[in-house]
């Protein structure tokens, strides 16, 4: 090693940018060090001593101890999340601007790359080319694709029993007895349909062996032997994912039901969570996100929620989540997680042991301010919530006693057993600002 500190610092500072650009490879690094020291001495007109010791030490230390800095994205998490949420709108706008909705045209609007736009659209369930391929399949095969999509994530894999898959496809999940001859014909038909899906280019690679099929989504089995070995191992471990029914295709109902109001449904879900103290599965927390904008994209928080639920520290998911929040390095995610834990804790702890419906409603309003936020976002929904609040205050009924009936209010309304208040009645429950505009002078109107 050189005794000249100036030589050492010069070589050290030159090595770091080289490694950052070309990576850690000993031979190119050594050649670079030799060339650098040769040029460095030529500029100073000094012959110097043998530099091999210095070069060996710098190369050894760099290979063992130095790592390239981690890539820092130019955009923050919140900006990336907002771009993700806006991409479907840009996709639909591209049809108006360019005459055709496509990934390329959406990328021209957003300034993103086509691969980024395509990835965002897939996460939103928008895949034009894939949808076009699925539409070419038979109706039964299309329904089978929807079942697989609901069961498997975009990069998931698993094995399914053909008997259960056939029950979901043809019987809608009904577990009634099916004759053995029907089961045999279904297995044969399913094997044909699965092979058709596997060859349709819609992202599935499916191999059927006996009464079990192995499903890869977003990747492929490299060989039949690999598929057989993987299916056998999955059977040994019992890795059978639950077969999920696809979401029904939305059909216009023809009228605006009182209990189908999104704000009403969210508040009733929050009341249920607060009284029961059950916040799992994590999909139940969506109403909290809508009333309390913690993050534009809550995906980074979801793994911490799963850890909090499965923690050995106790059964209180809110307390577990609060303890885990301090371990999160990202400040935005840490803050959002801590706030979510506080909301969950307050929803449960502020509730008495036998709350009335009115107390449960008021507790949700106190924790999340649902009435003020609804008044600003949707006055009609505010009127419905105010009507429900007054109804709860009048009856004074315990929530646990009324729970089953409240969960069926939409069904009762659709069947005609419960009549929603008319628009004139609900007008008395509108926010004060809206009422003032309605009854005021024409000159008071904002237009």
161 and 240 Cβ atoms separated by less than 8 Å? yes
Query: Which residue range is the domain that position 408 belongs to?
Result: 258-298+347-437
292 and 343 Cβ atoms separated by less than 8 Å? yes
62 and 24 Cβ atoms separated by less than 8 Å? yes
Q: Does the pLDDT at position 20 exceed 80?
A: yes
Domain boundary among 65, 87, 103: 65
Instruction: Round to whole Å and give the CA distance between 211 and 187.
Output: 7
Reading phi first (left if > 0) and then psi (alpha if -120 to 50, else beta), residue 208 is in beta
pLDDT band at 174; cut points 50, 70, 90 = low
Q: Convert 166-211 into a string of H (helix), E (strand) and C (coil).
A: HHHHHHCCCCCCCCHHHHHHHHHHHHHHHHHHHCCCCCEEEEEECC
Are residue 201 and residue 290 in the same domain, yes or no?
no
Are residue 16 and residue 97 in the same domain, yes or no?
no
Q: Does the pLDDT at position 127 exceed 80?
A: yes
Are residue 146 and residue 198 in the same domain, yes or no?
yes
Are residue 232 and residue 173 in the same domain, yes or no?
yes
Are residue 52 and residue 164 in the same domain, yes or no?
no
pLDDT band at 444; cut points 50, 70, 90 = very low
Q: Does the pLDDT at position 173 exceed 80?
A: no
Are residue 400 and residue 281 in the same domain, yes or no?
yes
Are residue 287 and residue 380 in the same domain, yes or no?
yes
The residue among 426, 342, 416 whose CA lies nearest residue 388 is 426
Average pLDDT over residues 368-373: 93
pLDDT band at 219; cut points 50, 70, 90 = confident
Instruction: Round to whole Å and give the CA distance between 8 and 172.
Output: 74
pTM higher than 0.75, yes or no? no
Give every CB contact of residue 95 below 8 A, 6+ residues apart in sequence. 101, 105
Instruction: Round to whole Å and give the CA distance between 162 and 196.
Output: 15
Share of the chain above pLDDT 90, in %: 27
Residue 11: burial class (beta carbons within 10 Å; 0-12, 13-18, 19+): buried
CATH of the domain at 163: 1.10.10
Instruction: Round to whole Å and give the CA distance between 274 and 251.
Output: 32
What is residue 445's predicted lDDT score, i.e. its pLDDT? 34
Highest mean pLDDT pick, 22-26, 36-40, 156-160, 340-344: 340-344
Instruction: Round to whole Å and give the CA distance between 415 and 411.
Output: 6
What is residue 249's predicted lDDT score, i.e. its pLDDT? 57
Over residues 69-84, the pLDDT tens digits come to: 776 666 677 777 778 8
pLDDT band at 50; cut points 50, 70, 90 = low
* In-domain check, residue 21: yes
What is the Cα 397 distance to its own chain's centre? 37
Over residues 241-256, the pLDDT tens digits come to: 888 888 765 444 445 7
């Amino acid at each position: 090693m050189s005794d000249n500190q100036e030589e050492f610092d010069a070589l050290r500072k030159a090595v770091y940018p080289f490694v950052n650009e070309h990576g850690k490879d000993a031979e190119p690094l050594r050649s670079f060090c030799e060339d650098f020291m040769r040029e460095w001495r030529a500029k100073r007109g000094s012959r110097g001593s043998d530099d091999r010791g210095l070069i060996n030490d710098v190369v050894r230390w760099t290979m063992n101890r130095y790592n390239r800095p981690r890539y820092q994205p130019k955009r923050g998490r919140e900006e990336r999340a907002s771009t993700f949420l806006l991409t479907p709108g840009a996709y639909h706008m591209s049809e108006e601007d360019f005459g055709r909705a496509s990934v390329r045209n959406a990328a021209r609007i957003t300034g993103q790359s086509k691969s980024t736009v395509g990835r965002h659209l897939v996460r939103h369930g928008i895949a034009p080319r894939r949808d076009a391929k699925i539409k070419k399949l038979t109706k039964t095969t299309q329904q089978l694709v929807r079942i697989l999509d609901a069961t498997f994530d975009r990069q998931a894999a698993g094995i399914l029993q053909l008997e259960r898959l056939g029950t979901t496809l043809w019987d809608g999940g009904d577990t009634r007895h099916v004759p053995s001859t029907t089961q045999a014909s279904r297995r044969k038909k399913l094997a044909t349909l699965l092979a058709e899906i596997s060859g349709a280019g819609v992202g599935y690679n499916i191999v059927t062996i006996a009464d079990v099929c192995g499903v890869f989504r977003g990747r492929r089995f490299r060989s039949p032997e690999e598929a057989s070995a993987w299916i056998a191992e999955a059977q040994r471990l019992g890795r059978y994912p639950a077969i999920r029914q696809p979401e029904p295709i939305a059909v216009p109902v023809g009228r605006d039901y009182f209990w189908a109001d999104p704000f009403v449904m969210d508040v009733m879900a929050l009341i249920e969570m607060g009284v029961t103290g059950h916040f799992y599965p994590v999909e139940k927390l969506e109403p909290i996100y809508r009333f309390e904008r913690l993050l534009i994209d809550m995906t980074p928080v979801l793994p911490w929620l799963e850890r909090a639920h499965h923690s050995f520290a106790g059964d209180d998911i809110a307390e577990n989540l609060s303890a885990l929040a301090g371990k999160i390095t990202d400040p935005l995610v840490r803050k959002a997680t801590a706030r979510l834990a506080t909301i969950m804790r307050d929803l449960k702890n502020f509730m008495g042991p036998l709350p009335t419906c009115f107390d449960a409603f008021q507790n949700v309003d106190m924790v999340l301010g649902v009435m003020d936020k609804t008044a600003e976002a949707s006055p009609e929904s505010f009127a419905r919530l105010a009507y429900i609040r007054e109804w709860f205050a009048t009856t004074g009924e315990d929530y646990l006693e009324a729970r089953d009936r409240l969960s069926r209010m939409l069904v009762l309304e659709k069947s005609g057993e419960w009549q929603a208040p008319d628009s004139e009645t609900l007008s008395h429950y509108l926010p004060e600002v809206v009422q003032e505009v309605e009854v005021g002078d024409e000159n008071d109107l904002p237009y």
